[in-house]
Amino acid sequence: MGQLIHDFENSNRLREQAHRIIPGGAHTYAKGDDQYPLLAPGFIANGYGSHVWDVDANEYIEYGMGNRSVGLGHAYAHVLQAVTSELVRGCNFTRPARIEVECASAFLDTVPTAEMVKFCKNGSDATSAAIRLARAATCRDLVAICYDHPFFSTDDWFIGSTPMNAGVPDAIRELTIGFRYNDLESAEELFKRHPGKIAAFILEPSRGEDPQDHYLQKLQALCHANGSLLILDEMITGFRWHRCGAQHVYGIVPDLSCFGKALGNGFAIAALAGKREFMELGGTQQTSAPRVFLLSTTHGAETHAMAAAIATMQVYRHEPVIEHVVRQGLKLKTALKEVATVHGLQNHFKVSGHPACLLYSTLDAAGQPSQIFRSLFLQETIRRGILAPSLVVSYTHSDEDIEKTIDAISETLVVYKRALDHKVEAFLSGRSSEPVFRRFNVKSPARDDAPRLDGVGEAV
């Protein structure tokens, strides 16, 4: 792989300043220092395609891709041209801009299972708006979230269900209950325990495993039979499983669905979409029900972000984006399985998930998920020019990128195996990373039993 990366002088200087003026040192929990080992780039200076450069001029092949929001690649030319052309006309006005209608039309052409759409700046706002609509439509308070899916929103209705629930009133926390993916009985049990009280079930269509035995359709039928709505969170699966979303792949029309991340190739735009009968509750023309205050944000319709979304959707409609990321992901997944086996680590390092959205698991000598081994893996891949909180490929990940990554991970697994045979702390420089959702800021490298989010928390 060549010379190893060691120099983070500028990053370290910025870290000190950042933690003095920014809680957590970053504006997204998943990007925080506590999610990475000590030997890691603290700040990125620029990116192009599948590569990024940190503030110390170290270059990396990147596999986080802006927490999965950059599907085409950093600074993708077609998107940048659209954004630049729109910016010279201004970005925010007193009345709606024409591009708002154009972007909505483009979205509904791309995702034909939806009848109406409303845009905002982030996924949390979209999912929270979906919850509010469901509660208004059903006149119910309880919300059922899938416990197997790690993140839905920064708002109280979800955060109250995590260990990091300080500041969320007990009364709010009690309104969120949970079920398991591909387990229809767990949903049935909730309806038995809370008859006539559940407004909606929210889940991702998939986290990499496919729904079994028409699970999504059966769950929706169960919801409707009990007067509840089905909400699909497509923040990740949308524009990765298919340009029309995973709902197209799995043949289901949800009551409401939420898109974001790759929708704008990294620009801040998210969408709440769904059936007209529910979406119109947040409009001004229906007169049969109380009005729902739905997604009213000053920056929700910034024109350049909508230009980015339109341009991104054009690329997905006219170029083989999905085919490319699936092919590169499969190549990576297959090769890394072989590499792990060669090193005798098939029970300690595993790659899983959809080819367009791969995760890896780092397991200790006992075969248990290990945060400290994850930190070691990150440390050693970073030293070899790979920045991989996950293994998410983009349209610009080349064959050469994939080959270099396989070589770097193979070298990393040599160190991993030595750490398994000896004391892992001896191979890690400094403290271990920590799970996002933890009750207290306790730094303890031995806390391998703590819950964590594989691939680092999505949008937190």
The set of long-range contacts for 366-371, using a CB threshold of 8 Å and a minimum separation of 24, is 368/448, 368/449, 369/448, 369/452, 370/448, 371/432, 371/433, 371/434, 371/435, 371/447, 371/448, 371/450, 371/452
User: Can you give the pLDDT at residue 27?
Assistant: 87
For 182-199, the pLDDT digits (tens) are 999 999 999 999 999 999
Which residue type is seen at 29? Y
For 116-130, the pLDDT digits (tens) are 999 999 999 999 999
User: Can you give the pLDDT at residue 442?
Assistant: 66
For 286-321, the pLDDT digits (tens) are 888 999 999 999 999 999 999 999 999 999 999 999
Of the pLDDT bands very low, low, confident and very high (cuts 50, 70, 90), residue 452 is: very low
Of the pLDDT bands very low, low, confident and very high (cuts 50, 70, 90), residue 446 is: very low
Task: Say if residue 338's pLDDT is above 90.
Answer: yes
Which is more confident, 460 or 71? Answer: 71
Mean pLDDT, to the nearest integer, of 366-371?
95
User: Can you give the pLDDT at residue 443?
Assistant: 53
Domains and CATH numbers, the chain: 9-62+320-426 (3.90.1150.10), 77-318 (3.40.640.10)
Task: Say if residue 348's pLDDT is above 50.
Answer: yes
Task: Say if residue 457's pLDDT is above 80.
Answer: no
Task: Say if residue 440's pLDDT is above 90.
Answer: no
User: Can you give the pLDDT at residue 454?
Assistant: 35
User: Can you give the pLDDT at residue 458?
Assistant: 40
How far apart are the C-alpha atoms of 47 and 15, rounded to whole Å?
A: 20
Task: Say if residue 135's pLDDT is above 50.
Answer: yes
Secondary structure class of 340 (helix, strand, coil): helix
Task: Say if residue 459's pLDDT is above 70.
Answer: no
Mean pLDDT, to the nearest integer, of 92-118?
97
For 7-52, the pLDDT digits (tens) are 999 999 999 999 999 998 998 888 988 899 999 999 999 999 999 9
Percent of the chain with pLDDT over 90: 87
Secondary structure class of 207 (helix, strand, coil): coil
Task: Say if residue 267's pLDDT is above 80.
Answer: yes
How far apart are the C-alpha atoms of 17 and 6, rounded to whole Å?
A: 21
Span of 1-15, 69-83, 159-173 with lowest mean pLDDT: 1-15
Span of 17-31, 110-124, 218-232, 256-270 with lowest mean pLDDT: 17-31
Which residue type is seen at 247? Q
User: Can you give the pLDDT at residue 30?
Assistant: 87
User: Can you give the pLDDT at residue 41?
Assistant: 95
Mean pLDDT, to the nearest integer, of 402-412?
98
Task: Report the mean per-residue pLDDT for the chain.
Answer: 93
Q: Taking a C-beta distance cutoff of 8 angstroms, is the pair 427, 419 a contact?
A: yes
Task: Say if residue 250's pLDDT is above 70.
Answer: yes
Residue partners of 359: CB distance under 8 A and separation at least 6: 208, 351, 352, 353, 390, 391, 454, 455
Of the pLDDT bands very low, low, confident and very high (cuts 50, 70, 90), residue 437 is: confident
Whole-model pTM: value is 0.92
